[in-house]
Amino acid sequence: MRSVTKVIYKPDSQSTEEYTVIVDPSEKWKAGDTTIPLTEVVDSMSSAVEINVPVARELCLPLENAKKCGRCGRTSTESLKVCSGCAQIAYCGPDCQKRDWKTHKRSCGETDRIELGSFYPLIAFIMELQRNDPFKPSHRALGHQIVNSPNPWDEESVVRLPDGSASRLIILGDEMLFPTMGPAPQDWWPTALSDQVRQKLRRRFQSENFLLPSIISVLFALMAEMYTTTSTVNPSDGAKRRARLSYYGSPIADFGIAKGQANVKHQDHFTYLFLNHGMAFEKGQDPNDHYWIYFTTVGGQDVVLDCGLFVFNHPIFVVPFPHYAKYIPSSWPGITTLGVPAYFPPREAIKRGVLPRVHDERQRFSVLRDEGLKEAIRFSHDGFRPTDEEAITNFMERVAGHACEEIEEAIAIKWCEEACEVVGKNLQNREYLNYPKTDEVGHAVSEDPGDREQSALVPANELDEGWMKCLKKWNGKHRRGDINEQQLREALQAYKAKDQRRKRQ
Question: What are 365-384's pLDDT values in tens digits?
Answer: 999 999 999 999 998 888 89
pLDDT: is 385 or 505 the higher one?
385
The Cα 87–Cα 63 span in angstroms is 7
Provide the whole-model pTM. Answer: 0.84
Cα 473 off chain centre by: 44
How does DSSP assign 310-370, residue by residue? Answer: GGGT--EEEE-TTGGGTT--TTSPP--SS-EE-B---HHHHHHT-----EEEEEEEESTT-
Q: Are the CB atoms for 362 and 401 separated by under 8 Å? A: no
Instruction: Determine which of 39-48, 262-271, 321-330 has the lowest per-residue pLDDT on average.
Output: 39-48
Determine the pLDDT at residue 321: 72
Taking residue 182's Cβ as centre, other Cβ atoms within 10 Å add up to 8
pLDDT band, residue 336 (cuts 50/70/90): low
Q: What is the pLDDT of residue 232?
A: 54
Per-residue pLDDT, 195? 92
Instruction: Give how far the C-alpha of residue 391 lies from the chain's centroid of Cα atoms, to the nearest Å.
Output: 18
* Residue-wise pLDDT tens digits, 198-223: 999 999 999 999 999 999 999 999 99
Sign of CA pseudo-dihedral 216, 432, 61, 96: negative
**211 residue type, one letter:** L
CB of 252 closer than 8 Å to CB of 295: yes
Q: Quote the pLDDT of residue 448.
A: 67
pLDDT above 50 (res 48): no
Residue 155: half-sphere exposure toward Cβ, Cα within 13 Å: 12
pLDDT band, very low/low/confident/very high, at 84 (cuts 50, 70, 90): confident
pLDDT at position 31 is 44
Strand partners, 113: 244
Q: Is 372 within 8 Å of 269 (Cβ atoms)?
A: no
The terminus-to-terminus CA distance of the chain in angstroms comes to 103
* Banded model confidence at residue 260, pLDDT cuts 50, 70, 90: very high
Q: Residue 300, Cβ neighbours under 10 Å: how many?
A: 12
Q: Which pLDDT belongs to residue 54?
A: 60
Q: How far apart are CA 222 and CA 257, in angstroms?
A: 13
DSSP 95-128: HHHHHHHHHHHHHH--EEEEEHHHHHHHHHHHHH
Q: In one letter, which amino acid is 239?
A: A
**Percent of the chain beyond pLDDT 90?**
48
What local confidence, expressed as pLDDT, does residue 7 receive? Answer: 41
Candidates 35, 48, 33, 130; CA nearest to 335 is 130
* CA-derived radius of gyration, the chain: 28
Give the whole-number percent of the chain exceeding pLDDT 70: 84
pLDDT mean across residues, the chain: 83
**Residue 496 Cα distances to 459, 467, 472, angstroms:** 16, 8, 14
* Mean pLDDT, residues 3-24: 39
Per-residue pLDDT reduced to its tens digit, 58-80: 898 888 888 788 888 888 877 77
pLDDT band at 6 (very low <50, low <70, confident <90, very high): very low
pLDDT over threshold 80, residue 50: no
Flag whether pLDDT at 357 surpasses 80: yes
Beta bridge partners of 445: 316
Alpha helices for 157-277 (secondary structure H): 195-206, 211-221
Report residue 335's pLDDT band, with 50, 70 and 90 as the boundaries: low
As a whole number of angstroms, the distance between CA 421 and CA 130 comes to: 14
User: Which residues, in sequence order, are CB contacts of 268 under 8 Å at separation 6+?
Assistant: 168, 312, 313
pLDDT confidence of residue 231:
65
For position 410, what pLDDT does the model report? 97
Tens digits of residue pLDDT in 420-466: 999 999 999 999 999 999 999 988 887 765 555 555 777 778 777 77
Q: Name the H helices within 47-192.
A: 94-108, 116-131
d(CA 60, CA 374): 10
Phi-psi region of 278 (alpha: psi -120 to 50; beta: other; left: phi over 0): left
Mean pLDDT of 82-107: 82
Count of other CB atoms within 10 angstroms of residue 222: 24
Residues 159-192: tens digit of each pLDDT? 998 888 999 999 999 899 887 777 789 999 999 9
- Average pLDDT (263-292) is 92
